[in-house]
Amino acid sequence: MLAQIGRRVLAGAAVVAGVLTLTFFLVQLAPGDPVERLLGPTATPAQLAAQRHALGLDRPLPVQFAVWIGRVARGEWGRSIATGRPVRAVLGDALPATLVLVGLSLIASYALGFVIGAWQARADRRVDTALSVATVTLFALPGYWLGLMLMMVFTYWAHWLPAFGASGLDVDIITGWGRLADRLRHLALPLATLTLIGIGGAARFVRGAMRDVVGQPFVTTAEAKGLSPFQVTRRHIVRNALVPVITLFGMSLPALFSGAVFVEAVFAWPGVGRRLVEAVQARDYPVVMAATVVTCVLVVTGNLLADLAAAWIDPRVRYQRRET
């Protein structure tokens, strides 16, 4: 088991290294000059050249990449080109907001998706068809479009929920339950956007996994022994259907984080995704690379934990890996 974990960690490290290398050169080769954005259109060529030299942007790309890797290895993330703040502080302020949004969305989408998928697996044809149309439609909707539609309905038409930010302008003078209510009202729309899309994918996968298990001989045997449908579902169907669902849980992290980038931008949610969009627009290379590191590490870690959870739930997974 430890050898398997070690191989997965090394594979994850290789994935992170590959993503960072590709991202670095793609961002550097993209059109736009961060120095021109920083100094403005009135800057002279001499000022632009001096600022590029100060930031190290006049060096060859391989040299810049080697210098950046060396700084990261020492725990130095550098400073934002656009704001001058330490990159660690920029992302440190934004990471909690992203973790709250993505974490709550992941829990809610899989909890509701599991319930809907389990209902579909045991429901009649008409209910199954109706729920299938609804879940496929949700899964196919672009996150930014769904966010804009929810904003139009609940903010501009109904005037129920705020559309932008994580808190109101008067948050500093609100205390206790009032502050919590304000936070939840600002969280509602971005959380609903990510959760609705996640429910569609989770429900479809759970339905398929449980339908595969329903036709197995051990389920028929359990029903022949006189167990109630609830007991058969809880003891035999759900447990055996959990393994592919947990695998999907880990694999959905990349899609969820990438979707959160656009959702955070739409709702001006102060998370890593919004910082990443702003950094890309400003060609703020240190922030782009640091945000990529954080996102990639979280995704690889989530996949590793999902793999370990699958092996813990189903002993057959451990046995098969031991044989290989």
Determine the average pLDDT of the residues in 92-98: 86
CB-side neighbour CA atoms (13 Å) of 26 = 10
- 252 or 192, which is more confident? 192
Answer whether 203's CB lies under 8 Å from 120's CB.
Answer: yes
- CB-based contacts of 248, cutoff 8 Å, min separation 6: 201, 202, 205
**Given pLDDT bands bounded at 50, 70 and 90, which one contains residue 254?**
low
Out of 142-151, 186-195, 308-317, least confident range = 308-317
**Given pLDDT bands bounded at 50, 70 and 90, which one contains residue 136?**
confident
Does residue 80 surpass a pLDDT of 70? yes
Q: What are phi and psi of 79, to 5 degrees?
A: -120, 150
**Given pLDDT bands bounded at 50, 70 and 90, which one contains residue 157?**
very high
Whole-angstrom CA distances from 68 to 64, 75, 148, 292 are: 6, 11, 38, 13
Q: What is the pLDDT of residue 323?
A: 47
Measure the CA angle with vertex 75, ends 71 and 79; round to 5°. Answer: 65
Out of 15-29, 163-177, 214-228, 262-276, least confident range = 163-177
Parse the chain into domains and list their residue ranges: 97-284+303-323
Does residue 269 surpass a pLDDT of 60? yes
**Given pLDDT bands bounded at 50, 70 and 90, which one contains residue 319?**
very low
Q: Which CATH number fits domain 97-284+303-323: 3.40.50.20, 3.10.450.50, 3.90.79.10, 1.10.3720.10?
A: 1.10.3720.10
What is the distance between the alpha carbons of residues 79 and 162, in angstroms, rounded to a whole number? 33
DSSP 214: H
Q: What is the pLDDT of residue 169?
A: 64
- pLDDT, tens only, 274-318: 888 888 888 888 888 888 887 788 777 777 777 776 666 655 555
DSSP 175: -
Which range is most confident: 97-106, 117-126, 242-251? 97-106
Does residue 134 surpass a pLDDT of 80? yes
